[in-house]
Amino acid sequence: MLKKRLIFTLLYCEGYFVLSRNFNLQKIGNYQWLIKNYNFNDIYKFIDELIVLNISRDKSLKIFNEYCDILKNISKKCFFPISGGGCVESFDMAKKIFNSGCEKIVLNTNFIENLNLVKKVKSNYGKQSIICSIDYKNEKKKYNIFHFNGEKKYHESFEEYIKKISKFGVGEIMVNSIDRDGTGNGFDLNILNFVPKNFQTPIIFSGGAGHGSHFIDALEDSRVNAVSTANLLNFIGNGLEISRKKVEKKIKLPIWL
């Protein structure tokens, strides 16, 4: 079993890092802002992995190449595993993400729209290199899946879909609540009632983290292997350090020297 992990997620949109609240975006700063406010030579001690997602509405190759340049720059400063993804429409684009310093790729819409691409990534890099991201909303006590930046509803239920992905075989599944996204009100732990018993694929929980106690709430569940936050402002300065120390009092995390 993998050790429990804390993951920091950066959201990149057309030249800037952004905050997301219910998938509505707020521009925060460019790469220079990020380097000024987050010392990657230091914060590697307080997170276990980094995810950098390209959520640009502009799907042009120019924007994608700029995103990959950002990945390369960040990877030179990091001493922890990095995952990338978003707006990947071909295997060549997937390769470019791996070649930009990423160990894993995050795929969302492709599991619905382009499963052949996912199969090609899996056959070339192995299932452990793939994180399947699932965005969902609670609508009248039913959990519905959305893709294309939360704009399209998928016809299968969350329970049906997560079973299908597990049978297909991926390294991890990342579940993200659109309702809780960016609110800081805590994770929607009720979604775990729809995860099959004895589920083997590691789950990353995302959407709603505001402080360390929220991480603990999720990680104490045996089905959750990792938690992720994309709240740049809540965890600026020594916020990540404070949160990790709080979590370590309750949960065994990897030890970084």
pLDDT-derived band at 80 (thresholds 50, 70, 90) equals confident
**End-to-end CA gap in the chain:** 22
- Above 90 in pLDDT, residue 220? yes
The model's pLDDT over 2-17, given as tens digits with 9 standing for 90+, comes to 689 999 999 999 999 9
Burial bucket for residue 95 (CB in 10 Å: 0-12, 13-18, 19+):
middle
- Above 90 in pLDDT, residue 77? no
Q: Could you tell me which residues come within 8 angstroms of residue 123 by beta carbon, excluding any fewer than 6 positions away? A: none
Q: What is the structure's pLDDT at 96?
A: 98
Average pLDDT in the 29-44 region? Answer: 84
Q: Domain limits of the chain?
A: 5-248
pLDDT-derived band at 115 (thresholds 50, 70, 90) equals very high
- Above 70 in pLDDT, residue 21? yes
Q: Which residue has the higher pLDDT, 95 or 243?
A: 95
Average pLDDT in the 109-126 region? Answer: 94
Cβ atoms 230, 184 nearer than 8 A: no
pLDDT-derived band at 65 (thresholds 50, 70, 90) equals very high
Pick the CATH number of 5-248 from 3.30.300.30, 3.40.50.620, 1.10.8.50, 3.20.20.70: 3.20.20.70
Helix (H) or strand (E) holding 117: helix 115-125
Q: What is the structure's pLDDT at 257?
A: 62
Q: What is the largest CA-CA distance in the chain?
A: 47
Cβ atoms 54, 86 nearer than 8 A: yes
pLDDT-derived band at 1 (thresholds 50, 70, 90) equals low
Give catalytic status of residue 135 as yes or no: yes
Nearest to 158, CA basis, from 131, 181, 135: 135
Q: Which member of 48, 58, 69, 135 is catalytic? A: 135
- Above 80 in pLDDT, residue 233? no
Average pLDDT taken over every residue of the chain: 91
